[in-house]
Structure 1
């Protein structure tokens, strides 16, 4: 059921503390942690505590939490001091777009030049 923790979800396990992560921020609705395979000097994932398979399903069910993710992404950028130089927020939705963990999440990337269009 959407919103409920999934036993086989890596990010649900990070939220519960079952799997360790380098957490940089937490709020009532979100957790932000460093990506284990960073693509930029700042590469942090911001996830909702509740399980939704992708950004679209999260936004449809809980738009306020989707907004919380964007707010926390900005706070992560400020904390890593990439807010002044620029950063990217990326939501991959679906395997064809590169989503590998099917728990909604935003990538916050910064600290290097970010070409457009991306891959």
Structure 2
């Protein structure tokens, strides 16, 4: 993990520039400096939270609620927006680059260049059932 100063904390504290869309006591929403499409937003907690394991339910709900509201605003904004993606990378293996939790909210439209490549083939039911059992057991123990 990168141990450099947190750019999102610097933004929250007014020490770095940002194009702010919304701010309240819990979250800040700002324009992504490297947008997937025009209108790409980030919704971040004001407190430094590295990833999902550190996220409390109330802050998570506040992030989701604001992202949901801003997704509607994107559709009404006049920016090109036929759909909206939410994306959250949790950990280096998931391509998290800034280790301060952030939810991407970005407009989608036919012909945009965003892609996620994966092996999307249907899996056997036994494989899905085995994975479901492991997740159920882990959820029950938390």
Normalised TM-score (structure 2)? 0.69
Q: Please say if 1:18 is aligned against 2:12.
A: no
Question: Are the equivalent residues in 1 in contact too, given 2:29–2:41 (CA < 8 A)?
Answer: yes
1:103 paired residue among 74, 96, 100? 100
Normalised TM-score (structure 1)? 0.81
Deviation at 1:54, TM superposition (A): 1.1
User: Greater helix share, 1 or 2?
Assistant: 2
Determine the structure 1 residue equivalent to 2:60.
Answer: 66
* More displaced stretch, 38-47 vs 104-113: 104-113
- 1:7-40 Cα shifts (integer Å, max 9, x gaps): 8111000101100100001121000000000002
- Structure 1: 5+ residue runs without aligned partners? 1-6
Q: Please say if 1:112 is aligned against 2:106.
A: no
RMSD: 2.6
CA distance in 2 between counterparts of 1:117 and 1:43 reads: 15
Equivalent residues, number: 111
Bigger radius of gyration: 2
CA distance in 2 between counterparts of 1:30 and 1:51 reads: 11
Question: Are the equivalent residues in 1 in contact too, given 2:36–2:114 (CA < 8 A)?
Answer: no
